Amino acid sequence: MQQEPVNMPSSTPPEPGPNDPKLKKKPDTLTKIILTKFFRNKLAVAGGIVLFIIVTMAIFAPLIAPQNPGDVEMDLLNRLAPPSTEFIMGTDDFGRDIFSRVLYGAQVSLLVGFLAMLGGAIIGTVMGSLAGYFGGRVDALIMRLVDILISFPNIFLLILLIAFFSPSVGLLIVFLASLGWMSTARLVRGEFLSLRQREYVLAAKTLGMKTNRIIFQHILPNALGPIIVASTLSVGNLIIVESVLSFLGLGVQPPTPSWGNMLQSAQNYTIMRDAWWYPVFPGLMIFITVLSINFVGDGLRDAFDPKMR
Amino acid sequence: MLSYILRRIIMAVPILIGISILTFSVMHLAPGSPTSMLLAPDIGPEVRIAFEERYGLNDPIPVQYVKWMGAMIQGDMGYSLVRVGMPVSEMIMNRLPNTLILMGASTIIAIVISIPLGIISARRQYTVTDYSVTFGSFVGIATPNFWIGLLLIMWLSVNLGWFPSGGTHTLNEPFSILDRLHHLFLPALVLATADMAGLTRYSRSSMLEVIRQDYMRTARAKGFTENTVIYKHGLRNGLIPIITIFGLMLPSFFAGSVVVERIFAWPGIGDLLITSVFQRDYPVIMGITMISAVLVVLGNLLADIAYAIFDPRIEY
Amino acid sequence: MKVKKKVLGLSTVVLATSIFAVACGGDDNLEEAMQEERNDAEENNNNADAGEEADNDTNENEGNEEASGEAQDGGDLTIGIVSDPVQFLPTHSSDTASGDIEDIVFNQLVRIDEEIEIQPELAVDWEESEDGLTYTFEIHEGVTFHDGEPLTADDVAFTFNIFIDEDYTGPRGGYFRALEEVEALDETTVEFRLSEPDARFLGNLGFGIMPEHILGDVPATELEEHDFTRDPVGSGPFEFDTWEDGQYVQLTAYEDYWEGAPHLDRLTLSIVGDQNAMMAQIEGGDIEMGVVPATDFSTAERWDEEGLVTLSSTLGYQYNYMGYNTRLDMFSDKETRQALTHAIDRQTIIDQVGQGQGEVAHGPVSPLSWAYPDSMPEFEYDPDLARELLEEAGWEEGGDGILERDGERFSFTLKTNSGNQIREDIAVIIQSMLNEVGVEVDVEYVEWGAFLDQIYPPNWDFDAIILGWALGTDPDPRAIWHTEEIEQGQNYTGFSRDDVDELIDENVLIVDQDERAEALHEIFEIIAEEQPYTFLYYPNDLVAIPTNLEGFIHHPRLSYYKPHEWYFTAE
């Protein structure tokens, strides 16, 4: 449950090589190169396919799921029923179909992971741009803030926030995003620092181009690759963080199902002993999803990495 | 060198202050208060006011913060609101050793398993071995460690009875190092999983980097065997960057300890933090936050210093 | 239910204490660990369909039949407890873990027995004056504290005078409002003087007697900071040995115990953190005795059959309920509330959530109590009747299938504290049951601290809540049902009826138990008729004990009762 993919050394900005100006001229070619490289990576492609399936199933959960997860099946006969043709993942302690709940849980878990990532990426890009563009005091201030948040197990802060505010799913996403922007900010800032002095940016400046245009036309596109890679990987991490928070009773609150809170409900001793399917399937879903996301992220990283071109 | 260390320490101060302000504000801006938690509603307003005065809970938040900080600088972390009369420092010191032991053991497990795997993987790049190791580390990253912990408890402790399911030692038995290690193994392993993955991949890429270096080629050209080249020349240079990752692993160790200590009934500060959060024991929460922040900052500092010592290219 | 005449007032002690304990205990997760513990206790049951019989000694010792082994002295017993104790100071501590340990380390003047009746402990006997204003206690001679100093009437007077000290800030001042003075007349005689008669008084005396020679000079305000709270000295059967923070508390036999030296040598209370860890450690043998959560009843029962443990079960002295905020229009009339109760199948809740371990509740008093009325109004599960009654109460089906009255949709939020699996599950079940009769329910789980803040006065920020009360030995209903307890107290639902207030005021003045019982019956019947709560059920209390442990009495209220009489048989 590392907060940041600290272990990803190559998520540092790629050194802008001499081919950067080219990049501007022939973006299509570059995209093509990246895609070609990505599709050559079998793990990444497999991850992408699995992820696509999971997302599709989540979106169409109401059509696929045999049960509406809101229904409480009071039928004691179906309580903790093992996997069968009727209940392919078995039932939980209320006799609810675990497969249905896993599908609906996917909506929640993926939504939390994806939106929190998006929020984090946006905040990070803004902060990084501010720091990189203005430099000086603004930069120092923002980077100190980054240092503070990074040099501290920020799950502590999350636990405090969530325990004390008892947030809704929306607020949970906001909290996750507001503690998940630091690596993006560093990336973007790094890109600014390295590109600010480059000729074409300087040229643009002397030509009187507006600051905004410089940022949006020249600098951000360059940072996009690393941002996409880091963000992709962070979705997986966020899904895990949500499950950890749920494990502590702090994530998405039941009866709304999420993979994390299903695992938490499955944590009862008797269930763990007698109904292995309950803790196993939601956990497997987290595992498969995060694994796929990481494969995709890793594939993207290699694809974007100019050193490996 | 000394001035570098000093500079780093001075830089750490605003970070620590920032962390304390953040934590403090989150706690005090949140709805709900320790008063409603700790006092029954039928307690008269006099008692309530007396309670709040006693702990300074009715001061404005900035005043409370300054007071707390003032005492903190003098090494006084205050008293628990729940365990009345119990100094926070004592509560933390009762548990910190357990957490450090757990983290230490996890680090050792992570090193012993990950670095060799990373090296092997790098030497046999693009082989089945390499792919399996890479895949394995992905698995480690993709699995919530509480889930691994629960499954291991059910399987190894409950079903097979190989390991105790919790605690630091067998109660009512004389001290035995074997017994302690027996209790330590599972929680340390689970705590290590998340970082093992990262460490393996880091070692691999670090070694790959080194293998491509000129001096390696030179060494090979001199006719040294591949093993000598790798272990004598490559290893030393390849491991240097790994030192820094230990500094970076600390926050995730603390984060992981919250969950792992909970699952394995390991009486450390992560477990204490959770208990205190749910009891709204503000001084204890602040104390634990600060201690972990100091340790993390210190860990990073040590890692950087070690890096500086091992890597002669770096000058200060 | 037999009631010994000699014992007049049952103790009140616990009402307030216990209410507080539950409140604290209710919490979650994490912390809430205390709550979990309480919870567990809550859910257990015994043999299921125990019907209305209030027989609490059901299967007290299944182990008896195995008691063929020989009694032996000695042995260590490891007991699992969920949460860390907080402080050991009988006048102040309010959490379950501390209270349970204090019950072992300290002696009390009187103690409730397993039939919820007051029995003398340190007291040999007591006399009550005609006017009910003076109680004179004769206490045992030759009782010594663990440090060897004798326990005398002075220590008793010292302990109770703490409660009436003007600087006393602990949670129990309320029980001693009528107490004016406590005085030791000689070594073994102590006199309590009251300003007005109080039927609950004897019940208020269930607190551990503390040594004056250690704490006598400590001002009341500083008691909680004294080292004593971490290393207490009492006169009970086991003396306090060590407390390893977060790990265990160890108690060793006090060989000079006045009722005879304990059989066991040592009690270790191991702090396990949560219920699952407790179960795992019981199965692994690291823990020999512990509370079994109702959700794990089937597992524990299997262990019992396999001979791993003896599972003991008894009706707990508490109930779970769903409370309505009667300030809201939709809950303002009793007809609607009664209809909702008809719509909730409580037996299914017990079966589903508590694996059948409990008894359906109908009113705010335990069937174990002498104050339980014979003619308690009951609202059985009958969804058709519920629909009918709702219609009579003016609710009509709206366009979306949800009932409406005067333009208001019958839709509300049911809150409970997060981390308490049983309450969370109850909420989900009730949600679906009420849905059946056209009532829309949203379920919300709130962290314990924030939850309390929301339901406490003056916020009352809830529509309906699920909670539980541990009952006091004295059935005085004031703390929850008197109008005065709305603005500052635990009458969260805002229940208020003048006749009930009057009866409550009167009941504590009636010293004769039979007469008092009549007043109480009336109160409880009115409350049950009004249904400000849907009384859900009385959960059973389940404890796993070693198969060779004898002398254990499963007390509905106290976790460790007469531990000096526990012993192991040779196997």
In angstroms, the separation between the Cα of residue A288 and the nearest Cα of chain C is 27
Write down the mean pLDDT value for chain A. 80
Tell me, what amino acid is at A80? L
For residue A6, the model assigns a pLDDT of 36
Mean pLDDT, to the nearest integer, of A134-141?
A: 87
| Bridge pairing between strands C403-405 and C396-397 | antiparallel
Q: Do A163 and B278 touch (CB under 8 A)?
A: yes
At residue B111 the predicted structure's pLDDT band, cuts being 50, 70 and 90, is: confident
Q: What is the pLDDT of residues A100-128, one digit of tens each?
A: 999 999 999 999 999 999 999 999 999 99
Scanning every residue of chain B, which has its alpha carbon at the shortest distance from the alpha carbon of C84? B275
- Name the band, by pLDDT with cuts 50, 70 and 90, for residue A19: very low
Q: Please check whether residue A159 is in contact with residue A250, taking contact to mean a CB–CB distance below 8 angstroms.
A: yes
Show residues of chain A in contact with B254, CB under 8 Å: 153, 156
Contacts of residue A295 in chain B, CB cutoff 8 Å?
Answer: 138
Q: What angle do CA C155, C228, C270 make, to 5 degrees?
A: 115
Give the per-residue pLDDT at C70.
66
pLDDT score at B43 = 65
Q: Which residues lie across from C135 on neighbouring strands?
A: C128, C192
Hey, are the CB atoms on C28 and A269 less than 8 Å from each other?
A: no
Contact B275 C33 (CB under 8 A): yes
**Partners of residue A76 in chain C, C-beta under 8 Å:** 351-352
More confident residue, C405 or A202: C405
- Residue C7 has what pLDDT? 30
Task: Name the strand (E) or helix (H) holding A129.
Answer: helix A98-134
Separation CA C456–CA C458 (nearest Å)? 6
Residue C20: pLDDT band with limits 50, 70, 90? very low
Helix ranges (H only) for A41-97 are: 42-59, 61-64
Q: Reply yes or no on whether the pLDDT at C420 is more than 90.
A: no
Instruction: Give dist(CA A113, CA A286) in Å, integer.
Output: 11
Rounded Cα gap, residues C265 and C269, in angstroms: 13
DSSP state of C151: P
CA distances from C499 to C36, C347, C479, C484 (A): 37, 32, 16, 13
pLDDT tier for residue A69 given thresholds of 50, 70 and 90: low
B141 within 8 A of B224, measured Cβ to Cβ: no
Alpha-helix residue ranges (DSSP H) falling in chain B: 2-29, 34-38, 45-54, 61-73, 88-123, 128-142, 145-152, 177-211, 214-221, 226-228, 235-263, 269-279, 282-310
| pLDDT score recorded for residue A56 | 93
Name every chain B residue with its beta carbon within 8 A of the beta carbon of C272: 166-167, 265
* Count, residues in chain B: 316
Chain position carrying tokens 């409990």 = C358
Q: Say which residues have a Cβ less than 8 Å from residue A266's Cβ, sequence separation at least 6.
A: A92, A272, A275, A278, A279, A282
Chains interfacing with A (3 or more CB pairs < 8 Å) = B, C
Out of A10, A157, A295, closest to residue B22 by CB: A157
Q: What are the pLDDT digits (tens) for C237-295? A: 999 999 988 889 999 999 999 999 999 999 999 998 888 888 988 988 889 999 999 88
pLDDT at C172 over 60: yes
Domain boundaries, chain A: 31-69+110-304
Burial label for C477, CB within 10 Å (0-12, 13-18, 19+), is: buried
In sequence order, what are the beta bridge partners of C238?
C253
Structure confidence by residue, pLDDT tens digits, B211-250: 777 766 777 777 777 777 777 666 777 777 777 777 777 8
Residue C379, min C-alpha distance to chain A (Å): 21
Cα Dmax for chain A: 77
Assess contact for A161 and A175: CB atoms under 8 A: yes
Number of Cβ within 10 Å of residue B125's Cβ equals: 14
Q: What is the mean pLDDT of residues C558-564?
A: 93
pLDDT given at position B313: 59
Are the C-beta atoms of C77 and C263 separated by less than 8 Å? Answer: no
Express each pLDDT in C33-63 by its tens digit: 333 333 333 333 333 333 333 333 334 444 4
Q: If pLDDT is split at 50, 70 and 90, which confidence band does C513 have?
A: confident
Chain A and chain C share a number of CB contacts under 8 A equal to 74
Residues B266-312: pLDDT tens digits? 999 998 998 888 888 889 999 998 898 888 888 888 877 777 777 65
- Sorted by sequence, the CB contacts under 8 Å of residue B313 that are 6+ apart come out as none
Q: Is B175 exposed, middle or buried (0-12, 13-18, 19+ CB in 10 A)?
A: exposed
CA–CA separation, A128 and A139 (whole Å): 8
Q: In what order do the strands lie in the sheet with C567-569?
A: C71-72, C567-569, C549-550
Give the mean pLDDT of A70-96.
Answer: 77
The helix (H) or strand (E) run that includes residue C318 is strand C318-324
State yes or no: pLDDT of C214 exceeds 50. yes
Query: Which residues of chain B make contact with A155, given a CB cutoff of 8 A?
Result: 255, 258
Q: How far apart are CA C252 and CA C254, in angstroms?
A: 6
Nearest CA to C89 among C105, C65, C72, C73?
Answer: C105
Neighbours of C236 (CB within 10 A): 28
Report the CATH architecture of B88-310: Orthogonal Bundle (1.10)
Mean pLDDT of C458-472: 90
User: What φ, ψ does residue C99 adopt, rounded to 5°?
Assistant: -60, -40
Of B31, B50, B278, nearest to C169 by CB-CB distance is: B50
Quote the Cα angle for A195-A198-A203, to 5°.
120
Residue B44: predicted pLDDT: 66
pLDDT exceeds cutoff 60 at C27: no
Mean pLDDT, chain B, integer: 82
For residues A31 and A37, is the Cβ–Cβ distance under 8 A? no
ipTM score of complex: 0.82
Give the nearest partner residue to C432 out of A72, A76, A253, using CB atoms. A72
The 10s digit of each residue's pLDDT in B151-199 is: 888 888 888 888 888 888 887 778 888 888 999 999 999 999 878 888 8
CATH architecture of A31-69+110-304: Orthogonal Bundle (1.10)
pLDDT band at B125 (very low <50, low <70, confident <90, very high): confident
Average pLDDT over residues A215-222: 73
pLDDT over threshold 60, residue A201: yes
E strands, C95-237, are 110-112, 118-120, 123-128, 134-139, 179-186, 189-194
Query: Which range scores top for mean pLDDT: A184-188, B149-153, C516-520?
Result: C516-520
**CATH 1.10.3720.10 domain locations along chain B:** 88-310
- Residue pair C279/C296 in contact (Cβ under 8 Å)? The answer is yes
Beta-carbon contacts of C334 under 8 Å, excluding residues fewer than 6 positions away, are C529, C530, C531
In this structure, chain A runs to a length of 309
Q: How far apart are CA C27 and CA A20, in angstroms?
A: 59
- Does the beta-carbon distance from C229 to B84 stay under 8 Å? yes
Q: At residue A70, does pLDDT exceed 80?
A: no
Closest CA to C176 of C196, C155, C153, C156: C196
Token pair 């000694």 in the structure block, residue: C57
Tokens 């993390």 -> residue = B296
Q: Give C552's pLDDT tier (boundaries 50, 70, 90).
A: very high
Q: What is the DSSP letter of A97?
A: B
